[in-house]
C-alpha cells in the first residue's frame, strides 16, 4: 500500500450499466478512500452527465455501435473505433491504472482492450443472463468475470466466474419511509393499492402506449398509479393528460430520482426486464410484471425475465401483447393479495445482497496484486 490505488471503470449507455458502475466505485471508495477512480464513457451518452453528478471524473470516447440496417454507415463507426482506441491508449498512458473494470456498453471495448494489451488486470461485470458481445470478446483475457445469473459458463471460462449479483442504487435499499408515507410523497391516497410503471431510464414506448390507450380502465380500476414515462415521451403524455381532469389516481413524471420511495409506495411494478432493475426487485422482494424490450441485442431481456418466470418469481407479458392485456393483468394482480405474497416470497429468494462490496473487494485484490 505504498501508493494510491488508480482504477478505471469503463462502460455505460444506459442506467443499467451506469448505476452498477457508480455503486462499485462508491464501494471501492468506502474501503479505500485513497483510491483514484477515473470513468471512461461514450460521448453523448448518459454516463457523461450522471457520473460527474455522482462525484467522479469521466473521459469520453467518440465510439458508437454498429448500424445493422445501413452497412455503409459503419465506415464512420470503424473510424470512431480507431479514434477511440487511440484516445483510450492516451488516457491509460496518462492515468496509469492498476486495474480496469468494464461494465458493458460501447466504451468498455476499446478501454479494456488497451488495458489488456498493456497487461493491466481487468475485471468485467456482466449484468444480464445472456452475455453481451463486448463482454464475450473481453472475457478471453479478463482476470475476473462477475455475473448475476447461474449458468454463465456457456459464455465465459468457468474458472474466472464469480457469482456476485448486480450492484443496485443505494437509495433503493435504504429508504426509511413507510408505504403510506411513500404514497403521500407522490400525492396519492396512502391506503389505496398502487402500481408503479417504469420503462427504464429512457422510457418504454410500448408500456407508455399501453397506459395511454386504456385511460378509462385506469379511471375505473379502483387502483392508483405512479408512471415514470421517460424524458423522451413525457411532453406528449403530459399534453394528453392535461386534456383530462378526471385522473387523480394517475401521477405521471418524466424521471423518478428517489426510486426507493417509488418502490416502497408500490404493491406491484410494471417494468422492462433490464438486469439492474431485476436485481433491485429481487433484493426488495417487489412483485413485478416484466415486459421485455424486443429492441435489445440477442433478446437478452426476455432471457432475464424467464430466469424469474421459470421460478414463479415474476409475471411475463410479451411486448406485442402489452397494449391489449398489460393493464388488465396488472389491475387483476394488484388486487390479489395471495398472488402478491407468492411473487414477493419467490423473487426475494433470488436476491444476491452486497454485490457492490463483493465486486469492490475483487477489484482491490487485482490492483494490489499489480503492485
Range with the lowest mean pLDDT among 177-181, 293-297, 309-313?
Answer: 293-297
How many angstroms separate the CA atoms of 13 and 41, rounded? 8
Residue 204 has a pLDDT of 85
Residue 76 has a pLDDT of 82
Task: Count other C-beta atoms under 10 Å from residue 202's C-beta.
Answer: 17
Which residues, 6 or more positions from 331, have their beta carbon under 8 angstroms from its beta carbon? Answer: 195, 217, 221, 223
How many angstroms separate the CA atoms of 257 and 15, rounded? 12
pLDDT band at 2 (very low <50, low <70, confident <90, very high): low
Residue 356 has a pLDDT of 93
What's the length of the chain? 371
Buried b (16+ CB within 10 A) or exposed e, 235-264: eebeeebeeeeeeebbbbbbebebbbbbbb
pLDDT band at 371 (very low <50, low <70, confident <90, very high): low
Residue 71 has a pLDDT of 65
| CA angle, residues 353, 357, 362, in degrees to nearest 5 | 120
Range with the lowest mean pLDDT among 128-142, 174-188, 215-229?
Answer: 128-142
Whole-Å CA distances, 247 to 7, 170, 244:
50, 32, 7
The percent of residues in the chain predicted with pLDDT above 90, rounded, is 70
| SS3 (DSSP) at 243 | coil
How many angstroms separate the CA atoms of 92 and 37, rounded? 12
Of 12-21, 89-98, 198-207, highest mean pLDDT: 89-98
Angle of helix 15-31 versus helix 355-370 axis, rounded to 10: 60
Reply yes or no on whether the pLDDT at 145 is more than 70: yes
The percent of residues in the chain predicted with pLDDT above 70, rounded, is 95
pLDDT band at 268 (very low <50, low <70, confident <90, very high): very high
pLDDT band at 313 (very low <50, low <70, confident <90, very high): very high
Rounded to an integer, the average pLDDT of 60-81 is 77
C-alpha cell recorded at residue 260: 426507493
State pLDDT tens for residues 211-266.
999 999 999 999 999 999 988 889 999 999 988 889 999 999 998 988 999 999 99
Reply yes or no on whether the pLDDT at 16 is more than 80: no
Residue 12 has a pLDDT of 83
DSSP secondary structure string for all residues of 311-341: TTSSEE--GGGHHHHHHHHHHHHHT-HHHHH
Rounded to an integer, the average pLDDT of 63-86 is 79
Residue 175 has a pLDDT of 84
Range with the lowest mean pLDDT among 146-150, 203-207, 303-307, 316-320?
Answer: 203-207
Taken in order 175, 357, 257, 252, the sign of the CA dihedral is: negative
How many angstroms separate the CA atoms of 323 and 286, rounded? 23
Rounded to an integer, the average pLDDT of 291-313 is 89
Residue 45 has a pLDDT of 87
Q: What would the 3-class secondary structure string for 43-81 be?
A: CCCCHHHHHHHCCCEEEEECCCCCCCCCHHHHHHHHHHH
154: exposed, middle or buried (Cβ count in 10 Å: 0-12, 13-18, 19+) = exposed
| SS3 (DSSP) at 371 | coil
Whole-Å CA distances, 343 to 88, 156, 259, 349:
45, 31, 20, 10
Between 370 and 268, residue with greater pLDDT: 268
State pLDDT tens for residues 78-110.
888 899 999 999 999 999 999 999 998 888 999
Run of H or E residues at 288: strand 288-290
Reply yes or no on whether the pLDDT at 137 is more than 60: yes
pTM above 0.85, yes or no: no
C-alpha cell recorded at residue 50: 450522471
Ramachandran quadrant class, 230 (left: phi over 0; alpha: psi -120 to 50; beta: rest): left
**185 with 177: CB under 8 angstroms?**
yes
pLDDT band at 67 (very low <50, low <70, confident <90, very high): low
Angle of helix 275-284 versus helix 337-348 axis, rounded to 10: 110
Tell me which residue of 265, 259, 113, 115 sits closest to 188, measured CA to CA. Answer: 265
Average pLDDT, the chain: 91
pLDDT band at 1 (very low <50, low <70, confident <90, very high): very low
C-alpha cell recorded at residue 215: 385511460
Amino acid at each position: 500500500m505504498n501508493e494510491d490505488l488508480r482504477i478505471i471503470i469503463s462502460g455505460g449507455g444506459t442506467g443499467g450499466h451506469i448505476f452498477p458502475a457508480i455503486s462499485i466505485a462508491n464501494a471501492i471508495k468506502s474501503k479505500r478512500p485513497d483510491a483514484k477512480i477515473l470513468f471512461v464513457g461514450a460521448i453523448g451518452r448518459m454516463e457523461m452527465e450522471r457520473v460527474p453528478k455522482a462525484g467522479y471524473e469521466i473521459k469520453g470516447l467518440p465510439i458508437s455501435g454498429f448500424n445493422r440496417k445501413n452497412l455503409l454507415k459503419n465506415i464512420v463507426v470503424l473510424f470512431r473505433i480507431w479514434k477511440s482506441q487511440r484516445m483510450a491508449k492516451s488516457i491509460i498512458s496518462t492515468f496509469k491504472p492498476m486495474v480496469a473494470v468494464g461494465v458493458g456498453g460501447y466504451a468498455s471495448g476499446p478501454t479494456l482492450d488497451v488495458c489488456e494489451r498493456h497487461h493491466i488486470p481487468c475485471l468485467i461485470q456482466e449484468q444480464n443472463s445472456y452475455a453481451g458481445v463486448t463482454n464475450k470478446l473481453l472475457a478471453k483475457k479478463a482476470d475476473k468475470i462477475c455475473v448475476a445469473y447461474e449458468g454463465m459458463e456457456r459464455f465465459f471460462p468457468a474458472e474466472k466466474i464469480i457469482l456476485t449479483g448486480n450492484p443496485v442504487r443505494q437509495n433503493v435499499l435504504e429508504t426509511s419511509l413507510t408505504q403510506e408515507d411513500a404514497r403521500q410523497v407522490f400525492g396519492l391516497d396512502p391506503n389505496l393499492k398502487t402500481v408503479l410503471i417504469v420503462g427504464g431510464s429512457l422510457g418504454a414506448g410500448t408500456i407508455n402506449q399501453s397506459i395511454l390507450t386504456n385511460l378509462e380502465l385506469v379511471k375505473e380500476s379502483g387502483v392508483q398509479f405512479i408512471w415514470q414515462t421517460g424524458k423522451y415521451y413525457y411532453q406528449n403524455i403530459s399534453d394528453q393528460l392535461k386534456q383530462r381532469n378526471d385522473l387523480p389516481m394517475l401521477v405521471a413524471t418524466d424521471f423518478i430520482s428517489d426510486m426507493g420511495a417509488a418502490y416502497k409506495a408500490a404493491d406491484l411494478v410494471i417494468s422492462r426486464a433490464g438486469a439492474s432493475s431485476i436485481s433491485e426487485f429481487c433484493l426488495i422482494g417487489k412483485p413485478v410484471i416484466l415486459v421485455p424490450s424486443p429492441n435489445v441485442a440477442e433478446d437478452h431481456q426476455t432471457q432475464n425475465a424467464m430466469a424469474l418466470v421459470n421460478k414463479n418469481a415474476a409475471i411475463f407479458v410479451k411486448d406485442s401483447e402489452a397494449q391489449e392485456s398489460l393493464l388488465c393483468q396488472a389491475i387483476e394482480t394488484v388486487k390479489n393479495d395471495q398472488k402478491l405474497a407468492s411473487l414477493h416470497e419467490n423473487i426475494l429468494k433470488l436476491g444476491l445482497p452486497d454485490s457492490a462490496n463483493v465486486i469492490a473487494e475483487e477489484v482491490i485484490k487485482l490492483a494490489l496484486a499489480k503492485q
